[in-house]
Amino acid sequence: MNGAQHILEAFQRHQIDTVFGYPGGCIMPLYDALVDAEGVEHVLCRHEQGCALAADGYARASGRLGVCIATSGPGATNLITGVANAHRDSIPMLVITGQVPSALIGTDAFQETDVLGMALGIVKHSYLVTEADELPAILEEAISLAQQGRPGPVWIDIPKDVLLTDIAAMACPSAAPDIAQAAQSTLTTTAPPCPDLSDALALLHNARQPLLYSGGGVGLAGAEAAFRAFADTSGLPGVVTLKGIGNHGKHSPHQLGMLGMHGSRAANLAVDACDLLLVIGARLDDRATGKLADFAPNARIIHLDADQAEFHKLRRAEVALRGDLNTMLQALTQALSNRPLAIADWQAQCRTWATTKGFPAADNEATVAPIHGPEFVRQLSRITPDDAIIACDVGQHQMWVAQHYQFDHPRHHLSSGGLGTMGFGLPAAIGAQFARPDQVVINVSGDGSFMMNAQELATIRRYRLPLKLIILDNQCLGMVRQQQELFYGNRESQIDLDDNPDFLTMARAFDIPSLHIERSDQIRRGIETILAYQGPMLLHVAIARDDNVWPIVKPGAGNREMLDEHQRNRKETPTTKTSKETAA
């Protein structure tokens, strides 16, 4: 068995049945072995960035390991954005690249790049396999490492000659039980012992206005049920980060929505007023906290997380507890069920804020035109099934989805949080559809983001994926335009996209039928039509060019300084210099 065959054997042994890749020179031995392999479906994307982002979407939707494969040089460099995206959002991913033959490394050979050096800052760990007999142990370790603790991408760079070398039987896991058992034990090990929660409980009982602040760590730990039990038992009002959307479920009476730059007034007001913040599986990201000096100014912090390095990084916590969130939340729930919190006044205050200070809705279906993004997303949320998976790209539409779609589970919301990768949505939705073939998967995109990975329409066509594609088309880079309007004196610069392609014709080129709507009385029919269609379908939605995401906190400002539409200070005519004029 050579190195390439061993990789595929390891995939089968670890029940890795779906991988996303693109062949090329130095990875060809693996593609040759793939011809005879059973039990592994290789999804051919049309760009290596698409492979990495599809693997990311697969992992987010399923909770399983995402795997992507590419060749050396440009294949590897094209993966970088997708791997960085997974790294910033703690997504379990295995990355395998071919490398030039060992003897040629360091000679500037054809398609040689220093992948190990290049990727150091965007991986949980990485390897260059220098001896063929090391490959089995490295694979076992990498598969385990990517998924344990705080997950992340692990990259293995493998010279072509290693892929072709027969691997000694001694090196294979079946003959090296210590390696295999060690790797397996990290996946199946029982939860670590629960840390002492008495200090946290004392703070909770002494607080008058305690608030729950949860992030993506809850979903990553598979701790949704434990989290909801804790939220219900404690009665703590809760805010969520972008990655924590769905933690509470769509019907929770306790949640105040997303906090931060585009958070609800209710969430930001509660954070501003609270005297204790219980942070669970979140890293106090700057988009969520705003200006740190103004963040939760009256609050003490309890921080529960899987990653020790997140404690005290941006804000000192009075109590910081590292461990398995399931274990800690269950223990806290038990303790509070014996001795409930007395916070009725605070709960009433938060309920009032939730009712009166939620996200502003232009929810007027009687309006004929133009369609407003928030209104579209609210209708989408009402019409789609509870278990629909919504991928989005990056920009205004992403924030409208975060604000106005009611998610029942964090794995239903696929959004590029840390890196903010335009072009994430389409390949991520492809990955999610492979992970969840029986669920409705919808990509909500903007016209700017959609063009960033539009080549993956060919992947949808090839695999006949029943994806639903929605483009909220405002003919510009809306989020950049919005910030230019509000914070750069309305001087529009390089945001005009009114020369977009005809998206309907484009879809037709990939055998994807489409529908165009431009009036709000067409929204319901449009959504129902694409959902009813047995196959992929595109809904092109012409939306108002000058709609903004409200509220907004100016970058660098405190979260209490939320701007609303009535504070909009537009000039009559924006100062515009388009890219076309520049080119001319």
Partner 1 sequence: MSATTEHTLTCRMQAEPAALERLCQVVRVRGFRIRQMSADSADGQLTIGLTVSGERPIGMLQSQLEKLHTVAQVSTETTLALARA
Q: Let me know if 581 is a catalytic residue.
A: no
The CA–CA distances, whole Å, from 505 to 426, 512, 519, 534 equal 18, 9, 20, 20
Amino acid at 426: L
Minimum distance of partner 1 from residue 3's CB (angstroms):
18
Q: Which of 169, 309, 361, 369 binds partner 1 (CB under 8 A)?
A: 309
Q: Is the dihedral of CA 98, 103, 108, 113 positive or negative?
A: positive
What is the bridge-based pairing of β-strands 575-577 and 18-21?
A: unpaired
Does 130 participate in binding partner 1 (rule CB under 8 A)?
Answer: yes
Minimum distance of partner 1 from residue 34's CB (angstroms):
28
Tell me whether residue 313 or residue 519 sits nearer to partner 1 (CB atom). Answer: 313
Minimum distance of partner 1 from residue 253's CB (angstroms):
37
Burial of 352 (0-12, 13-18, 19+ CB in 10 A): exposed
Q: Which of 70, 116, 479, 553 binds partner 1 (CB under 8 A)?
A: 116
Does 93 participate in binding partner 1 (rule CB under 8 A)?
Answer: no
Tell me whether residue 145 or residue 231 sits nearer to partner 1 (CB atom). Answer: 145
Q: Let me know if 110 is a catalytic residue.
A: yes
Q: Let me know if 347 is a catalytic residue.
A: no
Minimum distance of partner 1 from residue 147's CB (angstroms):
13
Amino acid at 431: G
Among the listed residues 9, 11, 48, 376, the single catalytic one is 48
Does 117 participate in binding partner 1 (rule CB under 8 A)?
Answer: yes
Query: How many whole angstroms separate alpha carbon 251 and alpha carbon 229?
Result: 13
Segment lying near partner 1 (by CB under 8 A), choices 1-9, 112-120, 324-332, 481-489? 112-120
Q: Which of 47, 87, 88, 124 binds partner 1 (CB under 8 A)?
A: 124
Among the listed residues 99, 112, 147, 160, the single catalytic one is 160
Burial of 25 (0-12, 13-18, 19+ CB in 10 A): middle
Does 155 participate in binding partner 1 (rule CB under 8 A)?
Answer: no
The CA–CA distances, whole Å, from 498 to 393, 423, 508 equal 19, 19, 20
Q: Site size for partner 1, by CB under 8 A? A: 17
Does 312 participate in binding partner 1 (rule CB under 8 A)?
Answer: yes
* 536 Cβ contact partners less than 8 Å away, ≥ 6 residues apart: 460, 461, 464, 465, 466, 467, 468, 469, 512, 513
Query: How many whole angstroms separate alpha carbon 479 and alpha carbon 393?
Result: 12
Q: Which of 36, 121, 364, 438 binds partner 1 (CB under 8 A)?
A: 121
Q: What is the DSSP letter of 261?
A: T
Segment lying near partner 1 (by CB under 8 A), choices 311-319, 349-357, 363-371, 560-568? 311-319
Amino acid at 147: Q
Q: Which of 43, 128, 203, 259 binds partner 1 (CB under 8 A)?
A: 128
Does 145 participate in binding partner 1 (rule CB under 8 A)?
Answer: yes
Query: How many whole angstroms separate alpha carbon 19 and alpha carbon 68?
Result: 6
Which residues are tagged catalytic? 48, 110-111, 160, 479
Residues that bind partner 1 (CB under 8 A): 116-117, 120-121, 124-128, 130, 145, 307-309, 311-313
